[in-house]
Chain A
Amino acid sequence: MDAARPLDQSQPLHRPPAGFWLWRSSGTSNGTSDGTRPGYSLLIPKRAVIINSLLILLLLIVVTLSLGSGSVSLSPAEVWQALWHQGPAINQLVVNELRLQRVLAGLTTGAAFALSGCLMQTLSRNRLATPGIIGIDNSATAFAVASVTGTGLSLAPSSMALAGAATACALAFGLTGASGRGGYRFIVAGIGIGAIAGAMTQFMLSRVAIDDANAAFPWTVGSLNARSPEATAALAACLPLALALSLRMTRALQLMQVSDAVSIGLGINLKQVRRNGLILSVLLTGLAVAVAGPVGLVALLGPEVARGLYRHKGVPLVASALCGALIMLAADLTGRLILAPLEIPVGIVTAVVGSPYLLWMLLNPSFKNTP
């Protein structure tokens, strides 16, 4: 059981808010059944506005760069012209038909991974409990590969990946018998599940013809190259919805960071929040894996960067999603450019960059695992 935070750390919650009221309505006591209607308010902190606009600006720059670079190099001005269907036809073709799909896939998967990571870290109160580390990515990959290599199942990879993600999550929770509070134990269970799933993936790949294995390989390490349009569309449709739903939970998530007792006292249905958050997280991970394969470290790095930018204790959902998209696109761009014409899968780039950071986190003696 966790102890409540010392009071001085929860002080900022009670200071007059520094931000913009997006919507504020006071409670009234009209003739509803219980006599009162609670007041609603939506406060946007000032710092969040500044950080998020900066991140969006950065994201636009990276998107432009990503759309402009490749075997045909385009200047930013040309890219924007082409995006609005102006300029030479060849530029329009390159940007709109060839590169835009990939950039959109990168944006959505990055955002989905990071958002799901942020949700899971907050719910389990453990910075290390991201979907990638607890084996959800690997399971989703194994299930999706099973559907691709056609072991008698003809479901679309998206739904199979979802099924895999849900299975892994259920297993990890079932085996540790806790609602995400098992801490490290939960994570090691996830490592075990991930190992089994990884072994199954390798087994399935070793049984198919060598050409199929080669084709499936980038996807099993995470790449934006092998995305399927249906999977991308499914993710793009679910992402805004998931973001909106998780933003609705922000208040509850923030209170859960203080302590369970406080949250319950303030009328938060912990079980419901945990369940919903977990469902959202698994959904996002499954859909994102169906598009880009297991690029799990984005789910760790995105929220870490966002939290670093926020400084104070909060649950930076939007900033995490933006950072995740940024990291994903930047990694993809690096992988495409650094060894051109060879293309390094984005999963390898994030692993080479992100693993040392994770190692440093783990080996740092003063490491604290609560977010």
Chain B
Amino acid sequence: MTSGQAPRHHWPLRQVFPATALVLLLVCLASLMLGAGDLSPQAALQALFGQSSDEANFIVRELRLPRTLIGFLVGAMLGCAGALMQTLARNPLAEPGLLGVSAGSSFAVTLALMLGASAATLTVHVAQLGALAGCLLVLSAARIQGVGNDPVRLVLAGATLTGLLLSLIWLLLMFDQRSADEIRFWITGSVAGRSLDMALQLMPSLGLAFILTLIIIRPLASLALGERAAQGLGHHPGRIRFIAVVIVALLVGSATAVAGPIIFVGLVVPFIARALAGPDIRRTLWLCLTLGPIIVISADTLSRLLVAPAELPLGVLTALIGAPVLLMVVRSRRLPTL
């Protein structure tokens, strides 16, 4: 990761990726089989193939399956967005939630709700626009001399921006009790009770993000070597950066629109991915696709089990998982730069 360290052993992707995919499969099954409902795991498994009572079928296919699928999408999106953003800012602490990108899209959604939009239609694109604004703001701040070299200062600036936007959100909500009630639970972050229609709405943006990622992934990896090296290889750093920002905004905006602001996933997932597969973004992104859903779905399953029959908000659980990782990154003898 850093030049000063002894070379670390990384596993080749073709061994790690299937392994994580297997774990993901197990986690998905666990998410489908476990829950507050009065349903044994065997019955849940049968219900998955439509061979059980109507009630079991309903619980598994209408409640748990969408939840797991949305958790899968949200995890993959946030994980990849985190990896991209960390490469962009060359900062292992650059996480969309910490840096105020999620708060930007929350703010945009609140504003849209206040101006009379209905929660069902507008939110995805509004949230993406808000995320884009937040992203541009933070990354332009990162390019200020002195701030960009200091990973922690950028994080602090992001935390301040998040605090400011949250205050503005509460301020807006004070005018409008209706929106306040709609938003109160959305803002803690959750994948429960979301319909699959919502996931379908995301597909165009996800497809676009996927294609754009395929286009810029090689230039982005060369950008990690430095601006000069990337230029020497015939790439345009400014253009690459802008496209990457758009991808991050698409991903974070979509995830926020569906699940509310969930922080720390974008920090934890790339952190583990780098530890497994090394710093190359071309490899870590693949791992983020499996590790992100693993984290989100298992956090969601835990949130159902820990205080059953009540539920912990997902955002709370990811904060509980993520903050120790943040501390770990900070505690490491010297902050690694990307």
A205 to chain B, nearest CB (A): 9
B244 within 8 A of A: no
Question: Which residues of chain B have a CB within 8 Å of any CB of chain A?
Answer: 93, 98, 141, 144-147, 150, 152-153, 155-157, 159-161, 163-164, 166-168, 170-171, 174-175, 184-185, 188, 263-264, 310, 312-313, 315-316, 319-320, 322-324, 326-327, 330-331, 335
Closest A residue to B307 by beta carbon equals A207
Q: Say if the beta carbon of A191 comes within 8 Å of chain B.
A: yes
Interface centre among B153, B316, B327 (most CB of A within 10 A): B327
Contact A351 B163 (CB under 8 A): yes
B313 lies within 8 A of A206 (CB):
yes
- The distance in angstroms between the C-alpha atoms of A363 and B145, with both chains bound, is 9
Q: Which residue of B lies closest to A355 (CB)?
A: B164
User: Are A359 and B313 in touch, CB under 8 angstroms?
Assistant: no
Q: How far is the CB of B142 from chain A (nearest CB, A)?
A: 10
How many A-B pairs with Cβ below 8 Å? 112
Please provide the chain A residues from 129 to 177 with a CB less than 8 Å away from any CB of chain B in the complex. Answer: 133, 175-176
A195: CB under 8 A from chain B?
A: yes
**A85 is an interface residue with CB less than 8 A from chain B:** no
Given contacts A193-B323, A199-B316, A355-B167, contact A363 B330 (CB under 8 A): no
- In contact, A363 and B147 (Cβ under 8 angstroms): yes
A184 at the interface (CB under 8 A from B): yes
Chain A, residues 314-350, CB within 8 Å of chain B (1/0): the string is: 0000000000000000000000000100101101100
**Complex Cα gap A297–B89 (Å):** 27
User: Given the complex of chains A and B, what is the CA–CA distance between A176 and B326 in angstroms?
Assistant: 12
Most buried by B among A191, A199, A344, A366: A199
Pairs A–B under 8 Å by Cβ, sample size 15: A133-B156, A188-B330, A195-B264, A195-B323, A195-B326, A196-B320, A199-B319, A207-B310, A347-B167, A351-B164, A352-B167, A356-B164, A359-B161, A362-B153, A363-B157
A interface, by DSSP: helix, strand, loop or mixed? helix
- B174 A359 Cβ-Cβ under 8 A: no
- Please name all residues of chain A whose beta carbon is closer than 8 Å to the beta carbon of B310 when the two chains form the complex: 207
Query: Contacts A195-B263, A352-B171, A362-B147 given; 16 further ones with Cβ under 8 A?
Result: A128-B156, A185-B330, A188-B327, A193-B323, A195-B323, A195-B326, A196-B320, A199-B319, A202-B313, A202-B315, A202-B316, A351-B166, A355-B167, A358-B160, A359-B164, A363-B141
A200 x B316 contact (CB < 8 A) = yes
Q: Does A221 contact B (CB under 8 A)?
A: yes
Considering the complex, which residues of chain A in the window 195-227 have a beta carbon less than 8 Å from any beta carbon of chain B? Answer: 195-196, 198-200, 202-203, 206-207, 213, 221
The 3 closest A-B pairs by CB, nearest first: A355-B164, A351-B167, A199-B319
Cβ-defined contact, A367 with B263, below 8 A: no
Question: Nearest Cβ distance between residue A56 and chain B, in whole angstroms?
Answer: 30
Determine if A199 and B146 form an interchain contact, defined as CB atoms under 8 angstroms apart: no
